[in-house]
Homo-oligomer: A and B are copies of this chain.
Amino acid sequence: MHRRILLTVAYDGTDFHGFAYQEGVRTVEGELARALAEATGEQPEITGASRTDTGVHALGNLACFDTASTIPPERFAVALDQYLPEDLRVITSEEVSPDFHPRKTGWSKTYEYRILNTPRPEPMLRRTTYHYRSALDVPAMHEAAQFLTGTHDFTSFCSVHSLSPTRKRTIYECSVTAAEAGTHLPSPGSLIVIRVTGSGFLYHMVRIIAGTLLDVGTGRLQPAVIRDILESRDRTLAGRTAEPQGLVLLGYQKGETQCSTDS
C-alpha cells in the first residue's frame, strides 16, 4: 500500500544551490531524495511547495512523496536525521490524502526578510541576515509596506524572468519591526524584520519588496510612492533584488483560509 507523506523541512540555505533538484550541484530536493532512498530503499519522487533560491533559508517549506515503506508516517522526521546533512532537517512528517499536492493547497505562506542594521557586520549572523550599515527609518518602511497589502498586479515587484502567467497576488499582511539589541545583538543597532504573508509570491517578489523598502528606509523613496510603483507595472521603478541570505520562508498556514483585504 502506498501512502502520501508530507514533510515540513527546515534548512540553512547558505550551502545549497536552492531547493529544486539540479544535476551535479547540492540542492535541498537532491539531499532529501538521497536520504529517502537510503531510508526506504525506494526512489521516491519529491514534490516541493516552494522552490527557494540559492542562499534562501526555510523553517517550514513543504515536500511530499509516495512510499510503500513500513516506517510510520510521523516517524520519518526523526528517521531521516541520520541520512541528512546537518544543514537540512525534517521538522514534522505526517500522512496526507493521496490527492494532496503541496502547490495546490490554497494555504497562505509567510516570509521574513532580516536586516542586521549595525555599524559593523556580525560574523555569527552573516549567513542568516543581510547587513546594512547606515541607519534605517523603520516607521517609514512599515508605512510603505501597508501599500502592498491587498490584491494587486505585482509586475513591478517581480523578476522580468518570471514565467507566471498572471502577476496578480494577494498580500494579507506586511509589517516592518525592529528588535532591539538582544541575545544575538550585543552591538548597538537592531535586527529589522520585514514579515509578509500572502496567497503566493512571484519570482524574487519578497526580495524586491525588501530592496524597495530599504530605499524607503534610507529616505530615497517616500512611503506613498509604493502605490505609484505598483500601478506603473514597471519593474525598473521598484528597488533592487535584495541579497538572498536575509530571506527565510517561515512556513505555511496549514488549512487556514485567510480573508483577503482586497484594495
Contact = CB atoms under 8 A, between A and B. Distances in A.
B60 A126 contact: no
Which of A77, A114, A124, A251 has the most chain B CB atoms closer than 10 A to its own CB?
A124
Interface in A179-203: 179, 182-184, 186-187, 191, 193
A84 to B, nearest CB: 9
A212 interface: no
Contacts of A112: 183
A238 interface: no
Interface string A121-137: 11110111000000000
Interface in A190-223: 191, 193
Nearest to A88: B123
Given A126-B12, A183-B114, A186-B59, A120 B77 contact: yes
B121 A89 contact: yes
B91 A60 contact: no
By Cβ-Cβ distance, the 7 closest A-B pairs, closest first, are A12-B123, A87-B123, A91-B120, A12-B124, A11-B123, A59-B186, A124-B128
